[in-house]
Amino acid sequence: MNKLVAELFSNDTERIAKAESRLLKIRNPDSSLITALLPLATSRNFHAWCAAMAILSRFRGRKEIGRYLLRRLRGGDSYEREWAAHALADIPFEGSLNTLTRYANSSKNLKIRAASLGALIKLLRQFPRCKEHVRGIFEKASRSSAAQIRAVGFGGLVEMHDPKYDKRIRKTLCDRDPTIRKVLAPAWTECSG
């Protein structure tokens, strides 16, 4: 198993793919596999990151994964913080709600802010009881001057399935910014159709 994990740290995409495939077949891995994979959750190698997410997502309930990602979100460089937020979207962890909320509301880095908002959308799907906690965040984001943030904010409003936002969302489907239309149209179609 350690040899397979070491393959994920390589720069060879074929070796990464083969190792991922074999690691996904392991039925009951011990916690050492999770510990070995955690550094890849914020890897700069996109292929290694995807492989780690595919494997780690099988262990969604494991708190050590969420705690590790939160540490990276709070204390890593901007790249690590962004990818930790993306990872928290793929592996929702209820304990991340307050930290993601803080970054979604106030991060000056738009990539980290958008990734945190995206993670909150997925967290909302996994834990619907956090709806009231995130409502104001999505409302604020949907009024942002940055199209990237506004798009994710509207995506969150669509995900809330609240009829009070329907008129505003329909109007936004005609937004002059193609980024907004591109993100919003599929989400709206999926939720309303």
- pLDDT tens figures, 102-151: 999 988 999 999 999 999 998 888 888 888 889 999 999 999 999 889 98
Q: Is the pLDDT of residue 189 over 70?
A: no
What is the band of 165 on the pLDDT scale with cuts at 50, 70, 90?
confident
Q: Considering the chain, what percentage of its residues have pLDDT values greater than 90?
A: 30
Mean pLDDT value across the chain: 86
Is the overall model pTM greater than 0.85, yes or no? Answer: no
What is the band of 80 on the pLDDT scale with cuts at 50, 70, 90?
confident
The full 3-state SS of 102-171, as one line of letters, equals HHHHHCCCHHHHHHHHHHHHHHHHHCHHHHHHHHHHHHHHHCCCCHHHHHHHHHHHHHCCCHHHHHHHHH
CB 90 within 8 A of CB 53: yes
Window from 49-53, 80-84, 140-144, 188-192 with minimum mean pLDDT: 188-192
Q: Is the pLDDT of residue 95 over 60?
A: yes
| Domains in the chain: boundaries | 1-59, 69-193
Q: Is the pLDDT of residue 13 over 90?
A: yes
Q: Is the pLDDT of residue 176 over 70?
A: yes
Q: Strand, coil or helix: what is 12?
A: coil
CATH architecture of 69-193: Alpha Horseshoe (1.25)
CB 20 within 8 A of CB 54: yes
Encoded tokens for 120 = 């909150």
